[in-house]
Amino acid sequence: MTLKDQIIARIRQCGPLSLADYMTDCLLHPTLGYYTTRDPFGVAGDFITAPEISQMFGELIGLTLAQSWLDQGSSAQITLAEIGPGRGTLMRDALRATRNVAGFHAAIDVVLIDASPKLRALQAGTLEDYPHRWVDSVADLPDQPLYLVANEFFDALPIRQYLRVGSGWSERRVGVQGNALTFGLTAPNNLDALAHRLEDTIDDDLVEVCPEASPIITTISQRIATYGGAALIVDYGDWRSLGDTLQAVRGHKSTDPLADPGQADLTAHVDFELLANTARAAGCTHTKLTTQGVFLERLGITSRAQSLAKGLAGTDLDALISAHRRLTHPAEMGNLFKTLGLYPRNATSPPGFDL
Ligand code: SAH
């Protein structure tokens, strides 16, 4: 039975699904989910992420976290964590780049969190030269300083969508018509959680909510506020989301999110305002939202590219130049992708951010 057949049977029995339930099934169904069954990255896959574009990305993230560790007094024991590490490339590049930061490798307990057993196996291969381990959830992160990165993780978390009707909200749900999945709407309800969105929306505007994001940010921020550390969050999105940002990507092309459940990557833009407010409520300070292009330039990506370029010629040199452009240029990932830093109230910000 395909995942689509299973979802249709479920809807026939129990009624339409929230978009979040639909996304969870599509992405993480134990045997048929998108992340559970494949390696989606790279030219042969469905999409390519910053760490897969160039080693420079992971190197600069690693050095930023190590600088923050130095700025906060070089604690002897810390967690170096990544949520949603994909192939493990970012962490490998971060670890290689920080090898010569005195005392850093002796201090770190490298902890990975990933829902996909298939990707965990890939991470084990990529990171075979470095001690590391997995925990199931951010709640299992040790009670000690936490230095964490999440690249393109929050966009993969399931969202719910609501359409404004007067002072209420109709939820967009996934139902069935004939043998096809279709979107439908519930009757409008008043929702406390969306009260603040009555200020900046009008009838027929669509807003998105990511229910899993806040508990994750709360847990991370409490660790950082209590024990020290920093979190770097990199993703596409903006300060406040408005409108339908759900997208399905398969084979580097955008496709209908309801057409082939489990076969396409489903993501939504990240609402960074929600992450920042949640972090503040849990005791952290946050940076301003900073574009990826500006962040990487400030961290010195251009001089890193120049030094890598010295040993290269021909197509390898072209590839490096194009990777630098892809990561930083405003027309490529430079402006669409944003970075947010979280850190303790009395500490200095990690480098690279707008404050
Ligand atoms: N950071 C990587 C991968 C991004 S793809 C990169 O930049 O290349 C999203 C990653 O998050 C995948 O590794 C996926 O398995 C993981 N993931 C998705 N939903 C998750 C969840 N709910 N909990 C933990 N990991 C999740």
Pairing label, strands 247-250, 253-255: antiparallel
Ligand 1, CB cutoff 6 Å, lining residues: 27, 35, 41, 49, 51-52, 84-86, 90, 113-116, 119, 151-153, 156-157
Give the position, in ligand 1's atom list, of the atom nearest the Cα of 151: 1
Determine the 3-state secondary structure of 264 from DSSP.
Answer: coil
Q: What is the pLDDT of residue 47?
A: 87
Q: What is the pLDDT of residue 44?
A: 81
What's the CA gap between 288 and 300, in Å, rounded?
Answer: 19
Q: What is the pLDDT of residue 85?
A: 98
Tokens 């209908």 belong to residue: 256
Report the residue among 87, 116, 270 best suited for mutation to probe ligand 1: largest number of ligand atoms under 8 A from its CB.
Answer: 116
Q: What is the pLDDT of residue 285?
A: 98
Distance 28 CA to ligand 1 centre (A): 10
Residue 315 CB partners (closer than 8 Å, separation 6+): none
Ligand 1, atom 21, lies closest to the CA of 115
In this prediction, what percent of the chain has a pLDDT beyond 90?
95
Q: Which phi and psi angles does 192 have, rounded to 5°?
A: -60, -40
Label residues 141-171 b or e (16+ Cβ within 10 Å = b).
Answer: beebbbbbbbbbbbbbbbbbbbbbeeeebbb
What's the CA gap between 70 and 351, in Å, rounded?
Answer: 12
Q: What is the pLDDT of residue 175?
A: 98
**pTM confidence score:** 0.96
Give the position, in ligand 1's atom list, of the atom nearest the Cα of 50: 7
Q: What is the pLDDT of residue 245?
A: 97
Residues of the chain with pLDDT under 70: none
Average pLDDT over the chain reads 96
What's the CA gap between 195 and 44, in Å, rounded?
Answer: 44
